[in-house]
Amino acid sequence: MTAPFHNVAIFAKPRTEGNRPALQHVLLQIVRLVEQASLTPLIEAGTRDAVDLRGFDGHPLSVLVQKADLAIVLGGDGTMLGIARELSAHAIPLIGINFGRLGFITDIGLDDVPDVLSDMLAGRFEADRRTLLEAEVLRDGESLHRGRAFNDVVVSHGTAGGILGFTVRVDGATMYTQRADGVILATPTGSTAYALSASGPILHPSLAGLVLVPVAPHTLSNRPIALPDSVVVEIELSDLRDASAHFDMQLFSPLRPGDVVRARLSPDRVTLLHPAGYNYFETLRRKLHWNVLSGEPYGRA
* pLDDT for residue 297: 58
* pLDDT for residue 1: 44
Give the DSSP per-residue string, 93-134.
-EEEEE-SSS-SSS-B-GGGIIIIIHHHHTT-EEEEEEEEEE
* pLDDT for residue 96: 97
CA–CA separation, 250 vs 245, rounded Å? Answer: 10
| Contacts of residue 243, Cβ cutoff 8 Å, sequence gap at least 6 | 155, 156, 157, 158, 164, 237, 254, 255, 256
Residue at which a domain ends, from 73, 97, 123: 123
3-state DSSP assignment of residue 4: coil
> Does residue 273 belong to any structural domain of this protein?
no
> Does residue 157 belong to any structural domain of this protein?
yes
| Contacts of residue 157, Cβ cutoff 8 Å, sequence gap at least 6 | 163, 164, 181, 182, 240, 242, 243, 244
Tell me: do 252 and 199 sit in the same domain: yes
Tell me: do 263 and 146 sit in the same domain: yes
> Does residue 60 belong to any structural domain of this protein?
yes
> Does residue 288 belong to any structural domain of this protein?
no
> Does residue 300 belong to any structural domain of this protein?
no
> Does residue 188 belong to any structural domain of this protein?
yes
Measured in degrees and rounded to the nearest 5, phi and psi for residue 35 equal -65, -40
Containing 45, the helix (H) or strand (E) segment is helix 45-51
Output the pTM of the full model: 0.92
What is the residue-level pLDDT of the chain in tens, covering all 301 positions? 456 899 999 999 877 666 888 899 999 999 999 999 999 999 999 999 988 888 899 999 999 999 999 999 999 999 999 999 999 999 999 999 999 777 889 989 999 999 999 999 999 999 999 999 999 999 999 999 999 999 999 999 877 677 899 999 999 999 999 999 999 999 999 999 999 999 999 999 999 999 999 999 998 888 999 999 999 999 999 987 689 999 999 999 999 999 999 999 999 999 999 999 999 999 899 888 886 665 555 554 4
Tell me: do 45 and 160 sit in the same domain: no
CATH number for the domain spanning 116: value is: 3.40.50.10330
Residue at which a domain ends, from 98, 123, 148: 123
Tell me: do 19 and 54 sit in the same domain: yes
* Structural domains of the chain, count: 2
Write out the residue range of the structural domain in which residue 252 sits: 132-267
Tell me: do 114 and 136 sit in the same domain: no
Tell me: do 65 and 181 sit in the same domain: no
Tell me: do 25 and 73 sit in the same domain: yes
Tell me: do 98 and 196 sit in the same domain: no
Tell me: do 119 and 137 sit in the same domain: no
Tell me: do 147 and 117 sit in the same domain: no
CA–CA separation, 301 vs 17, rounded Å? Answer: 33
Tell me: do 181 and 253 sit in the same domain: yes
* pLDDT for residue 100: 76
> Does residue 281 belong to any structural domain of this protein?
no
What residues are labeled active site?
Answer: 77
> Does residue 20 belong to any structural domain of this protein?
yes
| Contacts of residue 248, Cβ cutoff 8 Å, sequence gap at least 6 | 78, 81, 82, 85, 149, 150, 151, 152, 190
| Contacts of residue 164, Cβ cutoff 8 Å, sequence gap at least 6 | 155, 156, 157, 179, 180, 181, 182, 183, 237, 239, 240, 243
Tell me: do 27 and 104 sit in the same domain: yes
CATH number for the domain spanning 260: value is: 2.60.200.30
* pLDDT for residue 148: 96
